[in-house]
Each structure stands twice: as C-alpha cells, then as structure tokens.
Amino acid sequence: MHMLNELLSVPVAAGTLAVAGGGIAFICRKVGKVITSEKVALMGIMGAFVFAAQMVNIPLPGMPGTSGHMVGAVLLAIILGPHAAAIAITSVVMVQCLIFQDGGLLALGCNIINMGLVPCYLGYYVYKLISAGKSGSVRIYVAAMAACLVAIETGAILVPVEALLSGVLSVPFLTFLKTMVAVHLIIGLIEGVITVGVLGYLQQVRGDIFSFGAGGKIRMSKRKVMVTFLIFTVVIGAGLSLLASDKPDGLEWSYADRPDQMDFEPMVSNGDAKIEAVDKFQAEYSPMPDYSIRSSEEVSAAWTSFAGVVGAILTMGFIWGIARIIRSNDKKGFGN
Amino acid sequence: MHHAHIDKFAYQDSPIHRLDSRVKFIVVMVFTFLVISLPVDSFGILFCYAVWPFAILVIGRIPLKFAFKQVLIVSPFILFLALSYPFYERGLVRTEFGPWNFEISLGWVKCFTISGKFTVTVLALIALVSTTKFSNLLSGLGRLGFPKLLVMQLGFLYRYIFVLIDKAQHILMARSSRRMRSLGVKREVKVAASMAGSLLIRSIDSAEKINIAMQARGFSGTWKSVNEQKFRRGDLLFALVCGAFIMALHFIVRPFLI
C-alpha cells in the first residue's frame, strides 16, 4: 500500500526521507564497487519486470470478481540478492511516484522503506534462514511463503506506525493497524503462492538462473496449497473476528448514538448490553475535538478566508484567460 | 501501451518545459513540504496554494482535464481515509465562511482539508513530471547528488517498462483467448506463476542482449548525455518568482487566514 503525503507530518517525512536516502546511498556505494556492467542492465530490466508481473493477475478463490497480483520484492531478493533487489525496487517505487503519481513525493522515503528496503532484506534473510541452502521442496515452499508473508506484513504494519508518529490519524490506531494486517495477510498469501510457483517454474525451465546446487524440484501440490489456505483462513478469520468484536462499524455507530447532540433520538437502538457497553467504550475512546478554542478564532478569520478563496479562484481565472489569449495569438502568428 | 500515453505532454514546448529540471524539482519539493505542514482548518489558504500548480499547468499547456483525471485515478486510498474522518471526529465546529455561517463536524473539515491537500500536492507533482522529460529529470537528479547507480536504474526502468508491459499484455491476451472458464485455484495459480516465470526469463534474456549491445557501443559503466542542462537566467527568474510567491503565502497571507 502506498503511503501518502497527507498521512505524514513534516518531521516524519523528513526523517524517513533521510533514512531511505542514506540507506540507498550506502547500498549503491557498496554495490557500485563490485557490480559488473552486465548486472547493471539486469537490475534495470528486473525493475521493469516487476511492473509487468503486476499485470499478471489471478482470480481470487471464494471472491468472484476480484483478482490479486504479485508485488515481486521477495522474488527479486531471492534471485538477485537483497542489495540489487533493494535498488531495483527503489527505482520502481520512484517511477510509480514520479510517473504514475502513486504515493506522494514526501512519502517517498516511507514508501522506499516500507515496500523496498524492508521487504527485500527481511524477505531475503527469512528465506535464507528457513531454506538454509538446501533444496528440499517443502523447505523452499515454506521458506518462500514465510518470507513473503513476513516481508509484506512488516511493510504494512509500518504504514499505520508512521501515520501514528505523524499524529494525523483520527481513525483509532488499532483499527487501522488491524485492517492493514488483515488486508495484507491476503496480499502476502497471494504473493507467497505466486513466488513459489515462479521459483518452481524457473527451476524446471532454467536451472541456471535459480539453482540450489543439487537438483531438486518444487512442485505445487494441491494438498500443500490447500493446507496453507486453510491455516491462513483460520488466522484471517480470527483476526477479523477480533476486529469485529472490538468496535462496531462506524456507520452503524453513527446511526445508533450521537454524543455530540444531547437531544438526538437514537434511530437504531439495540437492547444488547454488550453492544451498549462497546458503544460507551467507543464514545469515551474517540478523542474529543478542541472545537471550543477553534470556534472563537474562526469567526475572525471568516472573511479573510473567504477573500482568500475568491482571490485564488479569480487569480486562476486570470492566468487561464491570459494563457488562452497568448495561445490563440501563437496559433495565428506561427500557424502551429 | 506506450509511454506517450503517460508523459506525452513532457515533449511539448513551453517556457516551463525549457526550465532546468533541478529548479523545478526543488521548487515542487519545497512547495509540497509547505502544503503538508498546513494545519487542519486551512481550507481557505489551500486555494491560494493551488494557484501555483494551476499556473504551471496552464503556462505549460497541460490540459486541465488530463491533470484532474490523473488526480482521480490515484485518489481511491486517500478518499477512503478522508471519508472515514467524519465517522470518528463528530464534534461540531462553528464555521463562518464569508456571508455563510454554519456548523459542521470537525471530521468533515478534516476530510475536505486532507482531500484538498492531496489534490494540490498531486497537481504540483503532475505539473513537474508533465513539463519535464524524464531523462532531463534524471540527469537533474543525478547532478543534485542522487547516487549514479540509482539514476541509471531509473533510466533503464523507464526505458523498458513499456516494452515489458507490452509482452505481459501479449501473454495475458493468450491466456484469456485460451481459457474458456475458470480453471480452479490450483491451475489458475500454476498458470499465473508460469506466465510470470516466462516473463522473468524473457526479461533476463533481453537484459543479456542489451548488455552485449551496450558493450559493443563502449558502455563504461556511466551514461554520457549530449545535452547537459545549464542554469540560465530564465531559471533564476523562475526560482525567484516561485520563491517570492511561496514566501508571500507563507509569511504574509498565512497569518491572516489561520
């Protein structure tokens, strides 16, 4: 998930930019010393491969009409090694920001950390740790799966943490965190399955790219896939039920209870003691806005604010008009 | 898909297009920092800030329809978040706006401000990349001190994204023309994995060919560009005007509106 400018405060944005920039500069220097020109082209193409691979989608089981795709950071880390993969994914994130405007310019630091540095290094070392250089089919399946899940979950957890540090969240932190974790469990699972599939394919077709020394084969057996799905369905189910029991849905709450208007009749009242307790808990939990201080200030600012908006719109109209006139003159003058 | 669809406007010509990419990059960066640092109830001044990207887009002859369409395309996540604010912060705020005087919940104020900030910063980013050729932007970034390896990476990436996306589309078309029904989870995953795998192998093969071609042309590990950008008088003027505008907003207009 791309982090956005608006979820960050300036110090957090500057801090993460500095960390990401420093990290990338360090990796570039380290890799730059040993890299051959052959690897330079390979890394560039691999970045482009990530874009293309994201178009290969699979329909999700049990959810008709939806489809998932891979992210690719862990796959690249396994094939290219973590340093080269980190540079490749960083360039992908930068192009997503600069050309496709996905994720903000200030959030670039966060995005590089969440989606590039953390998944590449963490995923690579988890994979290394579990696979331990051996070529057993089950071992590699588990290793790649675990690497993808850990890498993607960690990246996802960092998003609400960074937003929390910035202090811009009004959605309760835990709700946001749980939503991100639940959503990214599914994403990580898809990533894991496809990564394992690609590794198996590579081993069959081009053992030279992805070799474990002694030849071994990864096969996707139906049982393995099913067992994995079962385990993670249970985990996701447990996570979602936690989420559901903790707080009622925001919309439901807004109908049931309006603490800001004392004389407001609840439209939907529910006699259940548990739900009422949860409502009360949430009413206490939600931060009280400091509008009493704000309101006195805003009265004085009313007209200047209005003038600001009107002035800005007039200025834009003025610029547009001038540009229009100049453009039509250009057309007459030079016939282009 | 060809890259002309995405940054076709970068190849136009206008006073903005001719500026040094470093100046534009720095100005956009500073601008974004200032917009993000605005407090939550600053809807009025956001409009004033919006004048800058608007001016760049209009002078650079970028169709506004294209820019706003692009904002819409990237907005789902922020819209989802912004619309969740009214559910969580429902204390009422007394707001006066010109002749109107009304009560609105703080959540809605935040929702509007956040979406406004998003629109303004994305417009500024679009104004930067659609008035600057990506190669110029990269050489600018390189001269601002970005690591050479990363800049080269970005260059390769930009050059080959669209080639590989074309290949991926061929593979996808082949799949959809052969698959008449859903194949079940296992086969779907297997097919997708083989598609991604063959795409990977093709990418690695083409990287080898590209490397040989580059070696044959004397690639020594760094790029050399013929048209080096120079910092000219126009760039200085642009930097001064933008600086004056931003400073005036920040130090003179902002205290009035907030």
Which residues in chain B touch residue A259, judged by CB atoms under 8 angstroms apart? Answer: 90
Nearest to B16 by CA among B226, B225, B242: B242
CB B11 within 8 A of CB B133: yes
pLDDT at position A179 is: 84
Q: How confident is the model at residue A258 (pLDDT cuts 50, 70, 90)?
A: very low
Question: A19 to chain B nearest CA, in Å?
Answer: 14
Q: What residues make up the domain containing A264? A: 251-285
Average pLDDT, chain B: 83
Q: What are phi and psi of A139, to 5 degrees?
A: -60, -45
**How close is the nearest chain A Cα to the Cα of B235, in Å?**
20
Same domain, A270 and A147: no
- The C-alpha atoms of residue A327 and residue A331 are separated, in whole angstroms, by 6
Cα B60 from Cα A239, distance rounded (Å): 50
Tokens of B205: 């093969």
Q: Are A162 and A266 contained in the same domain?
A: no
Q: Say whether pLDDT at B169 is over 80.
A: yes
pLDDT score, position A248? 37
Q: Are residue A186 and residue A257 in the same domain, yes or no? A: no
Q: Output the pLDDT for position B176.
A: 84
Distance of CA B92 to the CA centre of its chain: 35
Residues A63 and A194 in one domain: yes
Question: Is A229 among the domain residues?
Answer: no
Q: Is A263 among the domain residues?
A: yes
Q: Is the pLDDT of residue A135 over 70?
A: no
Of A201, A222, A240, the residue that ends a domain is: A201
Pair (A38, A128) in one structural domain: yes
- Please tell me which residue, A73 or B95, carries the higher pLDDT value: A73
Q: Do residues A278 and A184 share a domain?
A: no
Residue A330 has a pLDDT of 65
Question: Is B204 or A58 the better-scoring residue by pLDDT?
Answer: B204
- A31 and A143 assigned to the same domain: yes
Can you give the pLDDT at residue A61? 65
- pLDDT (tens digit, 9 = 90+) per residue, B88-133? 777 777 777 767 777 778 888 888 888 888 999 999 998 998 898 8
pLDDT in tens, A91-115: 888 888 888 777 788 888 999 999 8
Residues A273 and A136 in one domain: no
Beta bridge partners of B93: B104
Cβ of residue A258 closer than 8 Å to a chain B Cβ: yes
The average pLDDT across A27-45 equals 80
Instruction: Answer yes or no: is pLDDT of B243 > 50.
Output: yes
Residue A235 has pLDDT above 80, yes or no: no
DSSP states along A209-262: TS--SS-------HHHHHHHHHHHHHHHHHHHHHHHHHS--HHHHHHH--TT-T
> B213: which residues sit within 8 A by CB, 6+ positions away?
none
In this structure, the answer to whether residues A187 and A101 fall within a common structural domain is yes
Q: How far apart are CA A8 and CA A10, in angstroms?
A: 6
Chain-centroid distance of CA B58 in Å reads: 17
B210–A48 C-beta distance less than 8 A: no
Query: What pLDDT shows up at residue B54?
Result: 92
pLDDT in tens, A277-314: 555 544 444 333 332 333 444 444 566 667 777 777 87
CA–CA separation, B198 and B190 (whole Å)? 12
Q: Do A28 and B148 touch (CB under 8 A)?
A: yes
* Beta strand segments in A144-194, E: none
State the average pLDDT over residues B155-173. 86
Give the span between the Cα atoms of A192 and A218, in whole angstroms.
14
A65 within domain boundaries? yes
Q: Say if A310 falls within a structural domain.
A: no
Q: Does residue A45 fall inside a structural domain?
A: yes
Interface residue of B36, B201, B241 to substitute, partner A, most A CBs within 10 Å: B36
Please, which residues have CB within 8 angstroms of residue B91's CB and are 6 or more apart in sequence? A260, A288, A289, A291, B105, B106
Query: Helix/strand/coil (H, E, C) string of A89-136?
Result: HHHHHHHHHHCCCCCCCCCHHHHHHHHHHHHHHHHHHHHHHHHCCCCC
pLDDT at B56 over 70: yes
Q: What single letter denotes the amino acid at residue A253?
A: W
Residues A86 and A193 in one domain: yes
Q: Which residues pair with B95 in a beta bridge?
A: B102
Assigned token pair, A139: 């071992």
Measured from the Cβ of residue A241, the count of other Cβ atoms closer than 10 Å reads: 10
Query: What's the confidence (pLDDT) of residue A121?
Result: 92
Q: With an 8 Å Cβ cutoff, are B125 and A61 in contact?
A: no
B248 touches chain A (CB under 8 A): no
Q: Name the domain count of chain A.
A: 2
Mean pLDDT across the stretch B228-233? Answer: 78
Find the mean pLDDT for residues A42-54: 83
Whether residue A315 is contained in a domain is answered as: no
Q: Does A52 touch chain B (CB under 8 A)?
A: yes
Whether A114 and A30 map to the same domain: the answer is: yes
Let me know if residue A74 belongs to a domain: yes
Q: Residue A186 pLDDT > 80, yes or no?
A: yes
Using 50, 70 and 90 to split pLDDT, how confident is the model at B257?
low
Instruction: Provide the pLDDT confidence category of residue A209 given band limits of 50, 70 and 90.
Output: low
Q: What is the CATH number of the domain that holds A89?
A: 1.10.1760.20
Do residues A268 and A139 both lie within one domain? no
> In this structure, how many other beta carbons lie within 10 angstroms of the beta carbon of residue A174?
14
Query: Has residue A228 been placed in a domain?
Result: no
CB contact under 8 A, A32 and B148: yes
- Measured in whole angstroms, the distance separating CA A21 from the mean position of its chain's CA atoms is 19
Q: Mean pLDDT across the stretch A235-245?
A: 49
Q: Give the sign of the dihedral formed by CA A72, CA A73, CA A78, CA A84.
A: positive
A229 pLDDT band, cuts 50/70/90, is low
* CB neighbour list of residue A103: distance below 8 Å, 6 or more residues apart: A2, A3, A4, A93, A96, A97, A111
Cβ-Cβ pairs closer than 8 A, A with B, add up to: 341
Nearest CA in chain B to A319: B55
B134/A91 Cβ within 8 A: no
